[in-house]
Structure 1
Amino acid sequence: MSRTHHYPLTVTWTGAGEAGTVNYRVYGRDHEITADGPPPLLGSADPTFRGEPERWNPEQLLVAALAQCHMLSYLSLCARKRVVVTGYLDEAVGTMAETGDGGGRFTEVLLRPRVTVAAPEMVERATELHEEAHRICFVANSVNFPVRHEPVISVAAAGQGA
């Protein structure tokens, strides 16, 4: 049985200032993303496109969504397959190429999860589960560019987590 999920949110432009979009160089790219439950997320454009560096940009959020989805899918699989993960860190990076017409597209995202497991006998299965996590990740299944993985699995020292 297929189920459908909806994710309503609101994006409100807050960078209009007094003049709005009278000129490409003067209007603000600042905006706020809100949804029922979480606190507002402050967004802007990438600083390359006249955005504010202290705010999240759409490109970062796309990479974050892929990294989050992979991690959550992976942790779920590990819990069900009795692989005890005690630490997880991913320093993901997305690559986007601009096109001559002012547009662009992502060419790939590289996930680099560093996973710590509780015991040496879990390392092989922990490594294998990254492929299955990728296969079931909702967000990875929704993009039209490669999402690659370079996982590194280590074993927790006795009495330690990550």
Structure 2
Amino acid sequence: MSDDRLYRVSTTWRGNRGSGTSGYRDYDRAVEVEVAGKPVLLGSADKPFRGDPGRWNPEDLLLAALSQCHLLSYLHACVLRGVVVTDYADQASGVMAVQGNGGRFREVVLRPWVTVAEASMVDPADGHRPTLRSLWLIAQGATCAMSHTLRNVSAPDGGPDGWGHGGGGIGSSGRPGRL
């Protein structure tokens, strides 16, 4: 029995101003992305590619997928190690190298901030990168450099960090990790 999963997405271009793609400036990059039973996602190209900056672009979506998948994989890895996570926030960034008319992501860095239930859980929460890499399914298909800088793993008594989360307490603030 196969464990393969099938995902379906319907992507529809809505940018025909009446003359189709008769010229590079003659059409909008408006796109609707649909998955059955979910809200429609309004997409476009990134602004430098004549897109609408108020809509999600493919670069945003790739970075969001990597960040969200990392979060969910991290939570699962913590469960396997008996670590209780009570808060998680990430500020991810990606660098895309533009090459001619295209480009590719050169690097993605995730910066998760994690709070665990007890001080005794800090080291186990920070020590499962090999397990995490095997669970981080979306990243396994990425061709750019992937890393994360664990900003802090702390117990609930940490101080402010500028994000509105606890910090400055127990943990591994700012330790980069290659995934």
Shared fold, TM over 0.5: yes
Q: What is the aligned-residue RMSD (CA, Å)?
A: 1.7
Tell me which stretches of 4 or more aligned residues in structure 1 moved more than 6 Å: none
1:47 match: 47
1:99 match: 99
SS state at 1:150 partner: strand
Q: Which amino acid aligns with 1:77?
A: A
* Greater RCO (CA < 8 Å, at least 6 residues apart): 1
Identity %: 46
> How far 1:61 sits from its partner (Å)?
0.4
In the alignment, the residues of structure 2 paired with residue 96 and residue 132 of structure 1 have an alpha-carbon distance, to the nearest angstrom, of 28
Q: Which amino acid aligns with 1:65?
A: A
2:19 match: 19
SS state at 1:79 partner: helix
2:156 match: 156
Q: Which amino acid aligns with 2:70?
A: H
Unaligned 5+ segments in structure 1 are none
SS state at 2:128 partner: helix
Equivalent residue pairs, number: 159
Q: Which amino acid aligns with 2:39?
A: P
1:127 match: 126
Q: 1:130 to 1:88 in 2, by over 3 A?
A: farther
Residue 74 (structure 2) pairs with residue 74 (structure 1): yes
> How far 1:132 sits from its partner (Å)?
2.3
Per-residue CA deviations over 1:12-69 (Å, capped at 9, x if unaligned) read 0011121111111121001000011211100000011110011000001001100111
In the alignment, the residues of structure 2 paired with residue 7 and residue 146 of structure 1 have an alpha-carbon distance, to the nearest angstrom, of 26
Query: TM-score if structure 2 supplies the norm length?
Result: 0.84
In the alignment, the residues of structure 2 paired with residue 154 and residue 48 of structure 1 have an alpha-carbon distance, to the nearest angstrom, of 40
Per-residue CA deviations over 1:95-149 (Å, capped at 9, x if unaligned) read 100113x121110100100001111111111111344223321101011111101
Unaligned 5+ segments in structure 2 are 159-164, 167-179
Q: Which amino acid aligns with 1:103?
A: G
1:34 match: 34
In the alignment, the residues of structure 2 paired with residue 78 and residue 47 of structure 1 have an alpha-carbon distance, to the nearest angstrom, of 38
